[in-house]
């Protein structure tokens, strides 16, 4: 199967919960998806002036420690607050048309906003962000379609409003990328 997806869990989420996320991604994208525990050295990406973790540094570290090929996708889940220098925070980051991505649960969890924990909502948001960042690894850009999972999200409410699925045009581009 082309482009196997490897979800690397460097978060506190149990693997059993991520198996259901992986199954949803398998069904949505038609790709082989595996989940494994992963030890990520977060401290090398920590910026004490921002009290956040640089997601670009984490992606570079992941690629330096794992043997990868262009024909696979690595997406790592963390539960720390991520940023890139030009933005206050990010839910995730991916190499555009590349191999690796990282997604954080930190700002996806209701508890971050002072709201009661909702595990199923957290996993739904996480699944959407994983699909979104995987889309970037296949070369997809942000989409202007309101409900497309590739639409950019500045606020967690925007993640809740979009679907887990790709719009027709993004789905077509992804299909071509996977099968060409």
* Catalytic site residue from 117, 133, 158, 176: 133
Which of 60, 110, 111, 113 minimizes the C-alpha distance to 84? 60
Q: Is 133 a catalytic residue?
A: yes
Three-state SS at 169: helix
Phi and psi (nearest 5°) for 120? -65, -35
CA 88 to chain centre: 18
Task: Enter the DSSP assignment of 153.
Answer: -
Alpha helices in 138-167 (DSSP H): 156-161
Distance CA 136, CA 139 (A): 5
How far apart are alpha carbons 102 and 74 in whole angstroms? 8
Token digits for 44?
Answer: 């090398």
Catalytic residues: 133
């Amino acid at each position: 199967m082309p482009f196997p997806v490897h979800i690397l869990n460097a978060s506190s989420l149990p693997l059993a919960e991520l198996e259901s996320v992986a199954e949803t991604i398998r069904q949505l994208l038609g790709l082989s998806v595996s989940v494994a525990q992963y030890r990520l050295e977060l401290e090398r990406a920590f910026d004490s002036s921002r009290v956040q973790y640089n997601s670009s540094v984490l992606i570079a570290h992941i690629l330096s420690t794992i043997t990868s090929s262009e024909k696979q996708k690595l997406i790592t889940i963390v539960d720390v607050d991520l940023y890139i220098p030009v933005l206050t925070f990010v839910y995730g980051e991916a190499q555009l048309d590349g191999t690796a991505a990282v997604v954080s649960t930190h700002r996806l969890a209701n508890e971050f906003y002072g709201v009661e924990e909702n595990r199923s909502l957290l996993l739904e948001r996480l699944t959407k962000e994983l699909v979104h960042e995987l889309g970037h690894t296949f070369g997809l850009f942000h989409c202007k379609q309101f409900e497309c999972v590739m639409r950019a999200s500045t606020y967690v409410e925007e993640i809740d409003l979009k679907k887990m699925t790709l719009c027709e045009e993004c789905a077509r581009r992804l299909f071509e990328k996977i099968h060409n």
